[in-house]
C-alpha cells in the first residue's frame, strides 16, 4: 500500500482553536489509510517546512495530504516542500481547513466534522494522484509579422534582437495605409518623413527580413513552433519558422456607398476622408471642376450607426484635415458637422481648441443630407434643438470609420482565432490580453484588432513584442501547463464533442486515426473536454474522474 502522510497544521490558534485536531487524528488513525499523522504549529513557517521535509523523508511517505489553509495561500509553498523531499509535487493534496472551515464555522464540532470529511476526501483523492512532470518543448524565438504597415514595422523593430530574427511580410510596399497620408495628428508633422525614418530603421536592423509584395499562404504549427509559407514577389514559396506570429494586417476605411443621404458616389465633390488624404499627399486640393473649393464641410460619424462602434480616430483626423485645408486655401470656409466629439487623449482637447482658433466652425447636427440645387451642393441639416437649416458648400469630406481588413477572416481561420461581432480579430481578453488571442503565440496589433490611432497601434505593436520577448527567450525551452487534458487513444471514438467546445483549439481530430488529440502546448487545463466526453476518453490531469469521484465518495460517506 502506498504510504500516505497526513500533516495537520494548527496555524497557531487559527485552526487549533476552531477544530479539534486531536479528534481528527484519532479518527483518521482508525480509518487506517495513512501511514502517519503529524501535527504542527505552523507548517508554512521556515521551521514548519524544515519539519515537513525531515518528517516526510524519515517516514518514507510517498504521498502527502496537508490540512492547512487555502491552496491560494500555500499550495506552491508545499509543492516546493514536496520537491525538496524528493517527491513529485503533484503527489500532494492540500485541504483547506482554515479559510473554508475554521474561519467560516463558529461551531467547533461542526467544523471538526467538516474538516474530517474534507481530509478523508483528500486522502482518498491523493491515492489516485499521478506524478505529473513539468513539460517543456523546444521553441523558436523568431517572429513572423504579417502586415508591413506602421504597426507591423513597429512590431518588427521592437522584436528584432540580437538572437531573434523577424520576418516582416507585406502584400504591397512597406508603410501600409500611412503611405497615403499627408500629415499626422496631433503633431501635424509630415507623415512620409516619419514613415521613411521608420522604414530606414527596419532596413538598417540586420535581424529583420522583409518580404514585400508577398503573401502568407499558410501558417501551421503552434506556439513556439510555427511554420509559415510565404509566396514572395517572384511567386516562389518560401518557408520560414518562428515561435510566434503578430498579425498586423490593419483595417480599411468604410466606404459609405449605400448611405444615400451623404451623396457619396452621386455628387462629384463628396470624398471620404481617406480619399481626401490622397489629395493632401499630392498637395492639390481642387473640386472636380478644377477650382479650389471656397467652402468645405466635413461630416463626422458617417456610418457609425451602421458599424455599431465609434472608430475613435475620426474626430481628430477630421480636425487635422480641416486645419490642412484652412492652411492651404486662403479664405476657405471649413465647417465640421459633428454629433459627439470623441477626444480620448490628454492632448486632443487642446488640438480641438487650436482647430477652433484657426477659424474652423463646429456645428452639432442631429440629421444631415447632402443635396444639389442648380449645380450647387447644399447641406440640409437639423440641429439638436430641432432647428433646420441649409448650407451651400463646394466640397464635402465624409469622415468614415474603420472596418476590418477583408483578409481578417482568412487569418482567423488559419490560426483558429475568433473574430468579434464587428469582424475584427477578437482579443483573448479585452482588458488583460488586448493583443493576445486564444491561440497562444499569435498576437494581434493595430487596427486589425479594432480602430486605433497611430500612436495606440504602435503601443500595441510594442505590447506584442513584450509578450514575445518575455515568453520566447532564445536558448530557453518553453514550459507548458501541467494540468492539461489528454485523450485515451483506446477509448476515444472521435465524435469531436471535445473539439467543438474547447475555447483554445487545443483539441483536434487526428484524421488518420479518427480520434481526437490534445495539443498540450495549447491546452490550458480547464477540463471542459473531460466533462463533455461521454465515455471519459478525454481525461483531465490532476482532476480525473477518478480523483473527483473518490473525493465525492468520502464526502458522502
Partner 1 sequence: MAKNRDILVIGAGLAGIEASLLSAQAGRKVYLIEQASYFGGAAIKSEEVCPNMECATCMLAPKQSDILENKNIELMTLSKVTNISGESGNFTVKIIKRARYVSLVDCIGCGACFEPCPVSMDNEFEENMSKQKAIYLACAGALPNVPAIDMEYCLRGKKQEECTACKEACMFDAIIYDDKDEEIEIRVGAIITATGFKLNDSKQFKQYGYGEFENVFNAFEFERLRASNGPTSGIIQSRDGKEPKSIGLIHCVGRDNRGYCSQVCCMYLTKFAHYALDILPGVKVYQFYKELSIPEKGNQKFYHEVKEKGVKSIRAKEIEIIKNGNGAGLKINYQNEKAEKESVDVDMVVLAPYVEPFPGTDELGKLLGIELGNFGFFKTAEFDSVSTIRPGIFVAGCAQGPKFMQHVTTQAQAAAARALNITED
Partner 2 sequence: MKGKIIPLKDNLNNTIKEVIKSLLEKGCFDAILVPNRVPSGESFTYLLINDQDFLESCTPLPPIMPIQGARALRNLTRRGKTSLKVLCVMRPCEIRAAIELSKLRQVELENISFMSIDCPGALVTKDYIDKPKDSDILYEEVLDQWTSEHLRPTCNTCVNFSYENTPSDIHIGIIGQQKNHILLLPISDKGNALLGKIDIQCSDEISSWQTNVKEILQKKTDQRNNSFSELQNKTAGAENLDNLFSDCINCHNCMRVCPICYCRQCFFESSDEVRIEAENYFIKAQNKGGIKFPANTILFHLGRISHMALSCVNCGACEDGCPMDVPVAQIFSYIGDTVQKMFDYIPGKDRNEPIPILTYKEDELHEYEDSKGQ
Partner 3 sequence: MANNFKPNIIGFLCNWCSYAAADLAGSSKLEVPATLTTIRVMCSSRVDPVHIISAYLQGADGVLIAGCHPGDCHYQTGNYYTRRRFALLHKIMETFKLDPERFRLSWISASEGKRFSEVTKEFAEHIEKLGPNPLKNKPFIE
User: Quick one: 20 or 280, whose CB is closer to partner 3?
Assistant: 20
Closest CA to 358 of 379, 328, 398: 328
Cβ 514 to partner 2 shortest distance, Å = 5
**Pattern 33-72, partner 3, x by CB under 8 A:** -------------------------------------xxx
Q: Which residues contact 418 (CB under 8 A, 6 or more apart)?
A: 412, 426, 438
Tell me phi and psi for residue 372, to 5 degrees.
-135, 130
Shorter beta-carbon distance to partner 3: residue 56 or 497: 497
How crowded is residue 53: how many other Cβ atoms within 10 Å of its Cβ?
18
Report the C-alpha gap between 375 and 370 in whole angstroms: 13
193 vs 511 by CB, closer to partner 2: 511
SS3 category, 410: helix
Residue 431 interacts with which of partner 2, partner 3, partner 1, none, CB < 5 to 8 Å by class:
partner 1
Nearer to partner 2 by Cβ, of 9 and 538: the residue is: 538
**Partner interacting with residue 495 (select from partner 3, partner 2, partner 1, none; CB below 5-8 Å by kind):** partner 2
406 burial level (CB within 10 Å; 0-12, 13-18, 19+) = exposed
Q: Which is nearer to partner 3, 1 or 556 (CB)?
A: 556
> Could you write out the DSSP letters of every residue in 312-357?
SSHHHHHHHHHHHHHHHSTT-EEEEEESS----STTHHHHHHHHHH
Q: Which three cell numbers stand for residue 46?
A: 521556515
543 binds, among partner 2, partner 1, partner 3, none (CB under 5 to 8 A by kind): partner 3
Residue 555 binds partner 3 (CB under 8 A) = yes
253 contacts 403 by C-beta, under 8 angstroms: yes
511 touches partner 2 (CB under 8 A): yes
Contact 541, 485 (CB under 8 A): yes
- The answer to the question of residue 110 lying near partner 2 (CB under 8 A) is no
Q: Give the DSSP per-residue string, 434-499.
A: TTB-SSTTEEE-GGGTS---HHHHHHHHHHHHHHHHHHS-TT-PEEPPSS-EEE-TTT-----HHH
Work out what residue 71 binds among partner 2, partner 1, partner 3, none; the CB cut-off runs from 5 to 8 Å by kind: partner 3
Cell 460517506 belongs to residue? 557
Q: Specify whether the CB–CB gap between 379 and 393 falls below 8 A.
A: yes
544 binds, among partner 2, partner 3, partner 1, none (CB under 5 to 8 A by kind): partner 2
Estimate to the nearest angstrom the gap between the alpha carbon of 50 and the chain centroid. Answer: 42
Of 62, 14, 10, nearest to 36 by C-alpha is 62
Q: Where are the alpha helices (DSSP H) in 104-166?
A: 108-126, 150-159
User: Least separation, in Å, of the C-beta of 357 and partner 1?
Assistant: 14
Residue 8 touches which of partner 2, partner 1, partner 3, none (Cβ within 5-8 Å per kind): none
Return the SS3 of 97: coil
CB of 545 to partner 3, least distance (A): 7
* Distances, alpha carbon 189 to alpha carbons 57, 135, 192, 281, 354, in Å: 70, 51, 9, 12, 15
Cβ neighbours around 340 below 10 Å, total: 11
Q: Least distance to partner 2 from the beta carbon of 493, Å? A: 4
Interacting residue with partner 2 among 94, 460, 544, 551 (CB under 8 A):
544
Among 395, 497, 517, 538, binds partner 2 (CB under 8 A): 497
Residues 463-492 close enough to bind partner 2 by CB under 8 A: 490-492
**Which of 20, 77, 85, 118 forms a contact with partner 3 (CB under 8 A)?**
118
Phi, psi dihedrals of residue 252, rounded to the nearest 5°: -115, 150
Between 121 and 297, name the residue whose CB sits nearer to partner 3. Answer: 121
C-alpha cell at 189: 508633422
Using CB under 8 A, pick the residue from 32, 106, 357, 387 that binds partner 3. 106
Residue 117 binds partner 3, judged by CB under 8 A: yes
Q: Which does 463 bind (CB under 5 to 8 A by kind): partner 2, partner 3, partner 1, none?
A: partner 1
Residues 401-430 that bind partner 3 (CB under 8 A): 428
Q: Which three cell numbers stand for residue 478?
A: 518553453
CA angle 117, 123, 127 (to 5 degrees): 145
Rounded least distance, CB 71 to partner 3, Å: 7
Q: Would you say 14 or 214 has its CB closer to partner 1?
A: 14
Locate the DSSP E strands across 423-491. Answer: 442-444, 478-479, 485-487
Give least dist CB 416 to partner 2, A.
17
Q: Which residues are near partner 2 by CB under 8 A?
A: 490-497, 500-501, 509, 511, 514, 532, 534-537, 544-546, 549-550, 553-554, 556-557
Q: Which residues are near partner 3 by CB under 8 A?
A: 70-72, 96, 98-107, 110-111, 113-114, 117-118, 121, 428, 438, 483, 501, 503-504, 524-528, 530-532, 540, 543, 545, 548-549, 551-553, 555-556
Amino acid at each position: 500500500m502506498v504510504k500516505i502522510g497526513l500533516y495537520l497544521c494548527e496555524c497557531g490558534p487559527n485552526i487549533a482553536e476552531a477544530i479539534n485536531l486531536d479528534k481528527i487524528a484519532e479518527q483518521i488513525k482508525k480509518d487506517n489509510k495513512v501511514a502517519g499523522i503529524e501535527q504542527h504549529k505552523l507548517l508554512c513557517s521556515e521551521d514548519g517546512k524544515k519539519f515537513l521535509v525531515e518528517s516526510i523523508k524519515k517516514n518514507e511517505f510517498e504521498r502527502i495530504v496537508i490540512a492547512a489553509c487555502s491552496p491560494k495561500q500555500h499550495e506552491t509553498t508545499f509543492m516546493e516542500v514536496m520537491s525538496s523531499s524528493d517527491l513529485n509535487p503533484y503527489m500532494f493534496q492540500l485541504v483547506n481547513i482554515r479559510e473554508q472551515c475554521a474561519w467560516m464555522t463558529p461551531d467547533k464540532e461542526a467544523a471538526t466534522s467538516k474538516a474530517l470529511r474534507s481530509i478523508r476526501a483528500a486522502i482518498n483523492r491523493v491515492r489516485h494522484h499521478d506524478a505529473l512532470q513539468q513539460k517543456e518543448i523546444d521553441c523558436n524565438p523568431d517572429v513572423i509579422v504579417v502586415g508591413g504597415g506602421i504597426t507591423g514595422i513597429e512590431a518588427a523593430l521592437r522584436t528584432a534582437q540580437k538572437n531573434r530574427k523577424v520576418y516582416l511580410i507585406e502584400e504591397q510596399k512597406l508603410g501600409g495605409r500611412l503611405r497615403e497620408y499627408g500629415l499626422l495628428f496631433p503633431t501635424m508633422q509630415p507623415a512620409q518623413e516619419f514613415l521613411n525614418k521608420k522604414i530606414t530603421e527596419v532596413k538598417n536592423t540586420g535581424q529583420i527580413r522583409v518580404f514585400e509584395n508577398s503573401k502568407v499562404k499558410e501558417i501551421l504549427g503552434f506556439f513556439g513552433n510555427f511554420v509559415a509559407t510565404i509566396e514572395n514577389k517572384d511567386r516562389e514559396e518560401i518557408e520560414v519558422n518562428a515561435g510566434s506570429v503578430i498579425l498586423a494586417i490593419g483595417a480599411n476605411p468604410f466606404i459609405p456607398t449605400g448611405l444615400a443621404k451623404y451623396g457619396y458616389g452621386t455628387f462629384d465633390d463628396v470624398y471620404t476622408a481617406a480619399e481626401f488624404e490622397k489629395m493632401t499627399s499630392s498637395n492639390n486640393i481642387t473640386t472636380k471642376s478644377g477650382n479650389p473649393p471656397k467652402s468645405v464641410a466635413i461630416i463626422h460619424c458617417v456610418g457609425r450607426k451602421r458599424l455599431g462602434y465609434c472608430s475613435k480616430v475620426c474626430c481628430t483626423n477630421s480636425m487635422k484635415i480641416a486645419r490642412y485645408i484652412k492652411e492651404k486655401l486662403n479664405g476657405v470656409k471649413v465647417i465640421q458637422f459633428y454629433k459627439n466629439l470623441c477626444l480620448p487623449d490628454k492632448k486632443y482637447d487642446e488640438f480641438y481648441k487650436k482647430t477652433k482658433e484657426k477659424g474652423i466652425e463646429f456645428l452639432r447636427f442631429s440629421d444631415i443630407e447632402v443635396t444639389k440645387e442648380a449645380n450647387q451642393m447644399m447641406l440640409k441639416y437639423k440641429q439638436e434643438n430641432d432647428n433646420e437649416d441649409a448650407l451651400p458648400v463646394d466640397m464635402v469630406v465624409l469622415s468614415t470609420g474603420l472596418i476590418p481588413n477583408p483578409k481578417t477572416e482568412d487569418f482567423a481561420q488559419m490560426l483558429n482565432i475568433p473574430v468579434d461581432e464587428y469582424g475584427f480579430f477578437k482579443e483573448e481578453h479585452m482588458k488583460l490580453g488586448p493583443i493576445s488571442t486564444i491561440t497562444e503565440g499569435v498576437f494581434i496589433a493595430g487596427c486589425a484588432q479594432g480602430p486605433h490611432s497611430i500612436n495606440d497601434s504602435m503601443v500595441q505593436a510594442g505590447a506584442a513584442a513584450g509578450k514575445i520577448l518575455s515568453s520566447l527567450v532564445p536558448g530557453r525551452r518553453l514550459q507548458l501547463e501541467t494540468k492539461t487534458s489528454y485523450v485515451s487513444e483506446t477509448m476515444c471514438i472521435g465524435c469531436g464533442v471535445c473539439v467543438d467546445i474547447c475555447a483554445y483549439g487545443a483539441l483536434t481530430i487526428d484524421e488518420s486515426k479518427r480520434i481526437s488529440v490534445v495539443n498540450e502546448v495549447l491546452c490550458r487545463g480547464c477540463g471542459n473536454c473531460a466533462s463533455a466526453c461521454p465515455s471519459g476518453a478525454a481525461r483531465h490531469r490532476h482532476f480525473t474522474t477518478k480523483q473527483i469521484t473518490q473525493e465525492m465518495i468520502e464526502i458522502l460517506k
